[in-house]
């Protein structure tokens, strides 16, 4: 059993600085993952992005003087993930912070979800998170670290036509709790955030595909499903991620934070 990680007065004063730390962000090529990668680099982290493509993210980090590298990695492959984590440890240092953001969406009920779609969602959203958790924990044991999994409000409440997606995000949430429990005595913290609707390129693509000519109308309709009256912005999710992965959150583990404009808790 390891000793508990205690923040020092210097680390608390440093707030959300990630200076000198190695952070791996999966799905950092766009959307929420991109915003997290950019903010982490701005706050001093050496950022490794695991995604199929991340040129724009790397460009924006470099333009701000940050340190980042891209590894084209299929998170559904355990061997590919292990190789990527080994590469990061060799290039920078063993991982201090992991953000599991890679994921795919799916629309359908249990009746309308084909088996191949279910398997694909499971492979990326569940197995991909498992693969990265496994690799990260092995590097963090004996040193400590912070893990953040991107879940969803769909892991806590029923969302129409999101059967496979909800299944996967429910698994992400319970994996978070399990890792937090198993490794708290190793100095490893593991938390989750559960966003509501966030305005990402996926949303724009979904509206263009399913509501051609009515994109603005449907965007406003979806925005109003959050009691606060709008969708979230990726940068807002990134700010919460930065806090939870920094020493400012050293007393937080095994927790799930809804960041959803009041969707889950407010009935208005």
Active site members: 165
Q: Are 117 and 170 in contact (CB under 8 A)?
A: no
Secondary structure string (H, E, C) spanning the chain: CCCCCCCCHHHHHCCCCCCCCEEEEECCCCHHHHHHHHHHHHCCCEEEEEECCCHHHHHHHHHCCCEEEEEECCCCCHHHHHHHHHHHHHHCCCCCEEEECCCCCCCECCCCCCHHHHHHHHHHHHHHHHHHHHHHHHHHCCCCEEEEEECCHHHCCCCCCEHHHHHHHHHHHHHHHHHHHHHHHHCEEEEEEEECCECCHHHHHHHHHHCCCCHHHHHHHHHCCCCCCCCECHHHHHHHHHHHHCHHHCCCCCCEEEECCCCCCCCC
CA-closest candidate to residue 93, choices 6, 22, 191, 41 = 22
Residues 141/43/29/133 CA torsion (nearest 10 deg): 10
Q: How far apart are CA 172 and CA 126, in angstroms?
A: 6
């Amino acid at each position: 059993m390891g000793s508990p990680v205690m923040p020092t007065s210097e680390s608390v004063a440093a707030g959300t600085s990630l200076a000198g730390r190695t952070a791996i962000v999966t799905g950092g090529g766009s959307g929420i993952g991109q915003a997290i990668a950019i903010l982490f680099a701005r706050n001093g982290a050496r950022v490794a992005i695991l995604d199929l493509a991340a040129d724009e993210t790397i460009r924006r980090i470099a333009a701000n003087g940050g340190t980042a590298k891209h590894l084209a990695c299929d998170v559904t492959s355990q061997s590919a993930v292990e190789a990527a984590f080994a590469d990061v440890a060799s290039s920078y240092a063993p991982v201090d912070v992991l953000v599991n953001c890679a994921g795919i969406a799916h629309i359908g009920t249990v009746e309308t979800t084909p088996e191949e779609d279910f398997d694909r969602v499971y492979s990326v959203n569940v197995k991909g998170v498992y693969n990265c958790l496994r690799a990260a924990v092995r590097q963090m044991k004996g040193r400590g670290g912070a893990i953040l999994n991107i879940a969803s409000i769909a892991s806590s409440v029923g969302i129409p036509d999101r059967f496979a997606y909800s299944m996967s995000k429910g698994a992400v949430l319970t994996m978070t709790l399990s890792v937090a429990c198993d490794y708290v005595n190793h100095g490893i913290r593991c938390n989750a955030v559960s966003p509501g609707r966030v305005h990402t390129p996926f949303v724009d693509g979904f509206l263009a595909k399913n509501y051609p000519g009515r994109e603005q109308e449907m965007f406003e309709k979806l925005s109003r499903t959050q009691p606060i009256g709008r969708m979230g912005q990726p940068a807002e999710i990134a700010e919460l991620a930065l806090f939870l992965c920094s020493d400012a959150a050293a007393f937080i583990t095994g927790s799930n934070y809804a960041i959803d404009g009041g969707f889950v808790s407010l009935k208005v």
